[in-house]
Structure 1
């Protein structure tokens, strides 16, 4: 099975959804080839924190500070139900472009480590509240997986894979992707598109339907 998904490291639902989907594939003992594609939730952010996530949500969604705080707290509760003790309210919100560049590089050069890298970046952002735009942070994460520090630093300090990230974000726009996460589940010639962070059991149902060829009468969009 091949799973392609558009996601972002600043999107808590992307983190929650990926954890749920990974658990579903593990419980079904599926052999999966994963590929993450970039979709920057906040494309105008800088490499250093400027606004809190509360302020950013007020600006992005046009809601009150009280509603923004409640939205963040609700997200943390949802994550906790899945065993993820995220600290969303204290996230150091920065550009996710460098993280996406690193993922594209590792998926191409060290594909066997790419999903571990992705989970570690999510953890660094939402649990440890590290600055994921910072090259030192990304080098440290990559190094923890056994990747060469110099190799990764040289890549990140250049503009390598910036073009690829922009192309894949444009691809999402062309395909009509307006919200993340979104998952494209592929087996043989069949494909099922699943938008959003489904519950783990719902992901399992979708995967089973796909494997059994029972998707024609169902829609998850």
Structure 2
């Protein structure tokens, strides 16, 4: 099974959704090939972190109080999934270089890429590190058995930026303007799942796709 997913490291639902999909696959003992498609929700963010609650309020047209309430609800959903998310205190900054690093890993360290992605999410939402900081990204890469000096040289350059932007352009041209999105491929069948569904719903979808039942009913 090949699972492609459109995701952003600054999107809490991308983290929650990936965790649910991963858990569903593990519980079904599925052999999965993962591929992340980049989609920066806020490409104009800089390397200088801003307050997550204030930005959430502005982006969604909410008061600070309502933004805090909604962020608290998101954090609780994540905790129910086993993710000790601290969204309110995250250092919200550009995710561009993190996406570039994933593109590099896919080409040069394919066996470490999925682990790298999970660790970047953890760094951002749980450890509240600034993922636009090159030192943070190099540290994460090194923890995934990637050559520290090699990654340091890569991250200084601006390479693979176009590839990140092309992912976004392709998604927008297909009418997609948010994350996450999942494209689940099995043999000649493809299931597209927009948004975050419950783990059990993902499991049912995977089982139906494998058994061929997906052809006989509408799901999701």
TM-score bracket relative to the smaller structure: over 0.9
> What SS does the aligned partner of 2:9 have?
coil
2:3 and 2:175 mapped to 1: Cα distance?
A: 18
Aligned match of 1:38: 38
Given that 2:112 and 2:145 are in contact with CA atoms closer than 8 Å, whether structure 1 keeps it comes out as: no
Aligned match of 1:135: 134
CA displacement, residues 22-44 of structure 1 (integer Å, 9 cap, x when unaligned): 01011111111000011111111
Aligned counterparts, 1:1-221, within 5 A: 1-49=1-49, 51-216=50-215, 217-220=217-220
Comparing 191-200 and 88-97, the one that deviates more:
191-200
Unaligned runs of 5+ in 1: none
TM-score, normalization by structure 1: 0.97
Moved over 6 A (4+): none
2:3 and 2:107 mapped to 1: Cα distance?
A: 16
How far off its partner does 1:53 sit? 1.1
Alignment length (residue pairs)? 219
How far off its partner does 1:191 sit? 0.3
2:178 and 2:201 mapped to 1: Cα distance?
A: 19
1:173 and 1:167 mapped to 2: Cα distance?
A: 10
Comparing 114-123 and 141-150, the one that deviates more:
141-150
Unaligned runs of 5+ in 2: none
2:123 and 2:54 mapped to 1: Cα distance?
A: 21
How far off its partner does 1:219 sit? 3.4
CA RMSD of aligned residues (A): 0.8
2:149 and 2:70 mapped to 1: Cα distance?
A: 40
> What SS does the aligned partner of 1:191 have?
strand
> What SS does the aligned partner of 1:54 have?
helix
> What SS does the aligned partner of 1:40 have?
coil
> What SS does the aligned partner of 2:41 have?
coil
CA displacement, residues 157-209 of structure 1 (integer Å, 9 cap, x when unaligned): 00111010011110111111122111000001100011112111111001011
> What SS does the aligned partner of 1:215 have?
helix
> What SS does the aligned partner of 2:66 have?
helix
